[in-house]
Amino acid sequence: MSRAGNLGETGLRRRRRQGDPMRDYDALPAPVRKWLAGAARPWSPASCRRIWARHRKHGIAAVLARLDRAEMSALARDPLSRAP
């Protein structure tokens, strides 16, 4: 019998995590960590770090705005988050 862990029966692809997510979280700038803590859905620190790296030259407000847009886009694609 195969154990699926907390994924159960799902068609979602499994991913192995690389590194230490808590260390990655701690390495993020404080405003990004604060945003992550209040996000509507779980985000990986690596995803936030990529957005931070691409947009930090425009300032923290631009980074947070980009994170908000990314979250809204993800929520729009999630059929479980849509209102009936």
18's tokens:
């690389």
How many domains does the chain contain in total?
A: 1
Under 8 Å CB-to-CB from 67, ≥6 apart: which residues? 32, 35, 39, 48, 51
Supply the range of the domain harboring residue 69.
42-79
Q: Is 34 domain-assigned?
A: no
Q: Can you tell me the distance from the alpha carbon of 47 to that of 76, in angstroms, rounded to the nearest whole number? A: 18
Q: Is 24 domain-assigned?
A: no
Assessment of whether the complete model's pTM goes beyond 0.75: no
Q: Is 5 domain-assigned?
A: no
Weakly modelled stretches of the chain, pLDDT under 70: 1-17, 80-84
What local confidence, expressed as pLDDT, does residue 70 receive? 92
Q: Is 19 domain-assigned?
A: no
Q: Is 28 domain-assigned?
A: no
Amino acid at 29: P
